[in-house]
A and B are shown apart, each in its own frame.
Chain A
């Protein structure tokens, strides 16, 4: 019998198949193991950057071209991308990353007069105006004073924060002496001139009714708004309602979906989320058509759908104010215009 015409016996077939099976198992093991590679090993060569400063030769042109006369360069610009921005801002990185962070440049500048006092200039490229507005709004300081630098800009005792187009910019000093603040403001103006904000309008914010609305307190939560993972790109506005000698604050919100059916489904999902986490339905009050309010952790939630928009109030202090703002918002959305 020639070798080529020999037909393998059952034992041969079994052993051969077993060997092939072993090889297949090993290959599969290698394949799946690569997806759970220990990141500690991956980063073994970068665990201690020592004196590294992330100076990039290809840094975008986000640093000041000409410095104000009050300031001088203190350190080289540093550049960070999505993979390493946490190196600079640690636990704050997630706030930017979930909002679409693209790139950040920062640099320190010293006050010429003293050379000991310094400020740091941060430019976050967020990719688009809404994303930049989101991180701006989520960090807005209550004590901040609105400034006319751009439509979204304010100043605190020691810092300036603003949005210019796709950029969110911070200028921070620990020594808010007049010369420093003057220099910082000059840098901010120069940046806005170099990176014009354009129309700087966010159409969704115009859907909120104006009555009792707090100025300069709108917001945008890009992900997990109110702890609900279905709420992405949720716009918010604050309302102050007179209540006796004081005012009560109510947060209204809206999210635009693709279709009316999507809005209804999302409304129902949020209601289920609230109820499954301890929320209790209340008797419908002043805004009965919008559904029963939910008492959630001793505050009031109302959520409704209007066309392709999910809207409502979050964590209102009482049912009456929640109903009032919800009804105003519903009326405004129904008209399509505040």
Chain B
């Protein structure tokens, strides 16, 4: 090996050391600047998920359909047909009622859950021994006004339920296994602390993107963030929400159906008296029946097909032999 080669090797080692030092320095600066917690404020690092609130499989009826114009009467009959509220709510249960309070809209326009119905279900839960009943939703825009102007807050609080508004610390990121959309996404989680039962309550509405807004679309209100991005793939997000949220019971209010211009409506001309109340442990079946109130079929609503195919419920609601009744 020549002298010049030895010098070249030394030179090479010096240069390599300098390059290595530069890389280490750059990496160190990057590490120093790295924000492990992400943006400060509302999102915390740990993720969260909802427990499965559904009841164990039994031979009891899974679905009831009661016709009548009086929501208090129809929901009582619908629940009785399923075995009574006591089948779902036990003494000491902490209950969340996930309502639709998406808009600061009067109850008469049926864009949101009916306050009388919310109050009655809350009252029944408390009568069955529930330790607490929390009514919640994430309307995004001005939640206090939404709960106040819909009449839900006043009606629920009058019977002893509490309203949980989505405050800054109420959300935690959640990821649904094998999901394409729900990945590290803010989920309204705070109202569910210590909760043992979940009842979803939704009106039957036309929906500009989804075709229909019913019990499974209602879980959309648990999402935070710029959830409107999901409107581009609305059927998939409803399907994933149905996988994510496993309720104890769903109540689909088809007393007044928003036939057109949903989900906001606005005109009384958008509404039709369909006088039907549905209670079910199978949200897919409830929505499949709800589609008929809109003059549609379950097959025409892609999210119902996706949910049924995934085994989340059945689109063939008649196969559940729903208990049918009528009250004056």
Interchain CB contact under 8 A, B165 and A50: yes
If the complex has contacts A6-B11, A44-B43, are A87 and B170 also in contact, measured as CB distance less than 8 A? no
Interchain CB contact under 8 A, A91 and B207: yes
Contacts of B183 in A (CB 8 A): 38
CB distance from B280 to the nearest CB of A (A): 23
Q: Mark B206-226, 1 if CB is under 8 A from A, else 0.
A: 011110010000000000111
Interchain CB contact under 8 A, B39 and A91: no
Q: Which of A69-100 contact B (CB under 8 A)?
A: 75, 78, 86-95
Contacts of B173 in A (CB 8 A): 40
Interchain CB contact under 8 A, B264 and A40: no
Contacts of A48 in B (CB 8 A): 42, 138, 166-168, 170-171, 224
Interchain CB contact under 8 A, A3 and B109: no
- A144's partner among B39, B213, B226, B269 (CB-CB below 8 A) is B269
CB distance from B195 to the nearest CB of A (A): 19
Q: Which of B209-247 contact A (CB under 8 A)?
A: 209-210, 213, 224-226, 228-229, 231, 234
Q: Which of B179-222 contact A (CB under 8 A)?
A: 183-186, 207-210, 213
Determine whether B142 belongs to the interface, using a CB cutoff of 8 Å to chain A.
yes
Contacts of B91 in A (CB 8 A): none
Q: Which of B42, B107, B208, B267 has the most CB of A within 10 A?
A: B267
A54 to B145, CA, bound (A): 13
If the complex has contacts A47-B224, A50-B168, are A9 and B8 also in contact, measured as CB distance less than 8 A? yes
CB-based nearest B residue for A88: B141
CB-based nearest A residue for B140: A87
CB-based nearest B residue for A176: B268
Determine whether A42 belongs to the interface, using a CB cutoff of 8 Å to chain B.
yes
A157 to B7, CA, bound (A): 95
Determine whether B290 belongs to the interface, using a CB cutoff of 8 Å to chain A.
no
Q: Which of B207, B224, B264 has the most CB of A within 10 A?
A: B264
Interchain CB contact under 8 A, A39 and B226: yes
Interchain CB contact under 8 A, A50 and B143: yes
B interface residues, tally (CB under 8 Å): 63
Interchain CB contact under 8 A, A91 and B267: no
CB distance from A303 to the nearest CB of B (A): 24
Determine whether A53 belongs to the interface, using a CB cutoff of 8 Å to chain B.
yes
A201 to B79, CA, bound (A): 56
Determine whether B16 belongs to the interface, using a CB cutoff of 8 Å to chain A.
yes
Contacts of B231 in A (CB 8 A): 86, 91, 93-94
Q: Which of A135-143, A212-220, A274-282, A329-337 faces chain B? A: A135-143
Interchain CB contact under 8 A, A86 and B228: yes
If the complex has contacts A40-B43, A43-B226, A174-B109, are A12 and B269 also in contact, measured as CB distance less than 8 A? no
CB distance from B37 to the nearest CB of A (A): 10
CB distance from B106 to the nearest CB of A (A): 3
Interchain CB contact under 8 A, B208 and A43: no
Interchain CB contact under 8 A, B208 and A91: yes
Determine whether B19 belongs to the interface, using a CB cutoff of 8 Å to chain A.
yes
- B4's partner among A1, A108, A118 (CB-CB below 8 A) is A1
Interchain CB contact under 8 A, A53 and B267: no
Determine whether A49 belongs to the interface, using a CB cutoff of 8 Å to chain B.
yes
Q: Mark B24-57, 1 if CB is under 8 A from A, else 0.
A: 0000000000000011111100000000000000
Interchain CB contact under 8 A, B209 and A94: yes
- Per CB-CB distance, the 10 closest pairs between chain A and chain B, nearest first, are A174-B106, A47-B224, A86-B228, A174-B108, A87-B141, A141-B269, A44-B43, A143-B269, A156-B267, A156-B269
24 residue pairs A–B, Cβ–Cβ below 8 Å:
A1-B4, A6-B11, A39-B226, A40-B173, A41-B184, A47-B186, A47-B225, A48-B42, A50-B144, A53-B141, A54-B141, A54-B142, A78-B142, A86-B231, A90-B140, A90-B264, A92-B208, A108-B104, A139-B261, A157-B269, A159-B268, A161-B267, A170-B266, A174-B108
- Besides A86-B228, A141-B267, 18 new A-B residue pairs in contact (Cβ under 8 A), listed by A number: A1-B7, A16-B19, A43-B224, A46-B226, A48-B42, A50-B166, A50-B167, A50-B168, A86-B231, A87-B140, A87-B141, A90-B228, A91-B262, A141-B270, A156-B267, A157-B269, A158-B268, A175-B106
Report A's interface with B, CB cutoff 8 A. 1, 3, 6, 8-9, 11-12, 15-16, 19, 38-54, 75, 78, 86-95, 108, 118, 120, 139, 141-144, 156-159, 161, 170, 172-176
Report B's interface with A, CB cutoff 8 A. 4, 7-8, 11-12, 15-16, 19, 23, 38-43, 102-109, 138, 140-145, 165-168, 170-171, 173, 183-186, 207-210, 213, 224-226, 228-229, 231, 234, 260-264, 266-270
